[in-house]
Amino acid sequence: MRNFVIRGNLCWSESSDSIRLVPRGYLVCEEGRCAGVFETLPECYVNLPLTDYGDALIIPGLTDLHLHAPQFSFRGLGMDMELLDWLNTYTFPEESKYADLAYADRAYTIFADHLRRSATTRAAVFGTIHVPATELLMDKMEQSGLVSYIGKVNMDRNSPEYLCETGAAASLADTERWICETREKYANTMPILTPRFVPSCTDELLQGLGRLAERYHLPVQSHLSENFGEIAWVQELCPGTKFYGEAYDRYGLFGGGIPCIMAHCVHSGEEETELMRKNGVFIAHSPLSNTNLASGVAPVSKYLNRGLNVALASDIAGGESENLFASMAAAIRASKLRWRLLDQEVKPLTVDQAFYLGTLGGGRFFGKVGAFEKDYEFDAVVIDDTTLDHPQELTLRARLERCLYLADDRNLAAKYVRGKQVF
Ligand code: GUN
Ligand code: FE
């Protein structure tokens, strides 16, 4: 069914500071795109099939701009360490298991099923260094109905022997083969270049990935300025750089012509921030992860005010939940503590800003995605909030606000991606 209408209480971000509400509005889908929002259905659409969701809320699908599929297996575990010890103790041993395709199949089946049932419609996902398991993950994500970028991870140094590629040349050859096998294979699943982070990639590897990004017009995702120990280590490893981001930028892996996601950016300094703004880098803000691993709190409202691209991310399994509503609430909460305890110059996030981060903020990485504007891709989530019951009258705005704090997949009545109903 390509063309149809759904009806309900429509809510979407017009900007990072304003949410538009259309009670009992009509949302028209034509050829997978939004043809418009209407208070009264125009004559030309009255013959289209209509699904009326009654008093439910309808919001754009949510975008998770950074998460690790192989880490879903240990979500909620191992939050007693900081980043580098956490990687060595919990993450790397688990990721090594994905050399075994039978294990990967079991784990990725669970992962893709949870994402399918969540409010997430778009995602940028890390796999592992293993090509067969990453291709299996891509198959499963394609079947899930979501639109996603999936990365085969690159790591050729400072990694345990059991999870280290045998040099830059081998890593690049594997990566190029994987790109060629997958870049035209799917309708909704695309490869993305994924150097894990500077400590696990030699200069030769980063340089080669920069060339692949250009040759195949591929986007890039990685980690940046997450943790103090990590940042000090990068400074040691790259003595010629003034700041962490420069280690990516000198090989063309930091935005500019090439779309780029950098997860975290908790401790980015002035120069790094300015280069991200200039290059249009997307910051994947991961408040659950940044608090669980005691990394810190990113100055998100400062980034927004300066016009940087900022999105929301679960960073599974640094973050424990794929439910992005939980990340919205966590983003607001963390920003309040940052403001109270650290820096009164950077204001706490508002509900409008948190909602924006999870919808339009990340959707923009995928093009016209994340809002109910004309020609935007038709990604929508229908929220039935009747289990969040209350004795008093609540405005639509108040009901949406409560969803940020309280909703999860049990409250979802339907989900559409590119005009196709997922459930
Ligand atoms: N930096 C390098 N690898 C990782 C990872 O798997 N998770 C997080 N949070 N940070 C990283
Ligand atoms: Fe991460």
Pairing of strands 62-68, 18-30: unpaired
Which pLDDT score, from 0 to 100, does residue 1 have?
A: 60
348 shares its domain with 376 = no
pTM of whole model > 0.95? yes
Q: What domain range is 284 assigned to?
A: 62-366
**Phi and psi (nearest 5°) for 317?**
-110, 15
130 shares its domain with 164 = yes
Distance 292 CA to ligand 2 centre (A): 12
CATH of the domain at 286: 3.20.20.140
Distance 232 CA to ligand 2 centre (A): 18
Q: Which ligand 1 atom minimizes the distance to the CA of 286?
A: 9
Candidates 132, 63, 81; CA nearest to 317 is 81
Q: Is the CB of 16 under 6 A from ligand 1?
A: no
> Amino acid letter at 270?
E
Q: How far is CA 130 from CA 120, 150, 175, in A?
A: 25, 12, 10
**Phi and psi (nearest 5°) for 79?**
-100, 20
Candidates 299, 311, 303, 282; CA nearest to 370 is 311
Return the residue whose CA atom lies nearest to atom 5 of ligand 1: 87
Q: Are 264 and 223 a contacting pair, CB within 8 Å?
A: yes
145 shares its domain with 221 = yes
Sign of CA dihedral 20, 26, 27, 28: negative
| Whole-number Å distance between alpha carbons of 385 and 382 | 10
Number of domains the chain is built from? 2
Q: Is the CB of 338 under 6 A from ligand 1?
A: no
214 Cβ contact partners less than 8 Å away, ≥ 6 residues apart: 252, 258
155 shares its domain with 33 = no
| Whole-number Å distance between alpha carbons of 369 and 361 | 9
Distance 109 CA to ligand 1 centre (A): 22
Of 366, 383, 400, the residue at which a domain comes to its end is 366
Q: Are 166 and 173 a contacting pair, CB within 8 Å?
A: no
Q: Is the CB of 363 under 6 A from ligand 1?
A: no
362 shares its domain with 380 = no
Q: Are 320 and 74 a contacting pair, CB within 8 Å?
A: no
17 shares its domain with 131 = no
Q: Which of 89, 196, 230, 266 to mutate to test the pocket of ligand 1 (most atoms within 8 A of CB)?
A: 196
Of 366, 381, 402, the residue at which a domain comes to its end is 366
225 shares its domain with 242 = yes
204 shares its domain with 227 = yes
| Whole-number Å distance between alpha carbons of 7 and 221 | 37
Q: Is the CB of 196 under 6 A from ligand 1?
A: yes
Burial 354-365 (b: 16+ CB within 10 A, else e): bbbbbbbbbbbb
218 shares its domain with 310 = yes
Which pLDDT score, from 0 to 100, does residue 2 have?
A: 85
Per-residue pLDDT 10s for the chain (423 aa) are 689 999 999 999 999 999 999 999 999 999 999 999 999 999 999 999 999 999 999 999 999 999 999 999 999 999 999 999 999 999 999 999 999 999 999 999 999 999 999 999 999 999 999 999 999 999 999 999 999 999 999 999 999 999 999 999 999 999 999 999 999 999 999 999 999 999 999 999 999 999 999 999 999 999 999 999 999 999 999 999 999 999 999 999 999 999 999 999 999 999 999 999 999 999 999 999 999 999 999 999 999 999 999 999 999 999 999 999 999 999 999 999 999 999 999 999 999 999 999 999 999 999 999 999 999 999 999 999 999 999 999 999 999 999 999 999 999 999 999 999 999
Q: Are 316 and 71 a contacting pair, CB within 8 Å?
A: yes
Residue with tokens 């009992």: 24
Q: Is the CB of 90 under 6 A from ligand 1?
A: no
Which pLDDT score, from 0 to 100, does residue 24 have?
A: 98
Burial class (CB in 10 A: 0-12, 13-18, 19+), 18: exposed
DSSP lists the bridge partners of residue 191 as 150
Pairing of strands 189-191, 147-151: parallel
Of 333, 349, 366, the residue at which a domain comes to its end is 366
Q: Which residues have CB atoms below 5 A from the ion given as ligand 2?
A: 263, 315
CATH of the domain at 29: 2.30.40.10
Cα 25-28-33 angle, rounded to 5 deg: 135
123 shares its domain with 250 = yes
155 shares its domain with 139 = yes
122 shares its domain with 9 = no
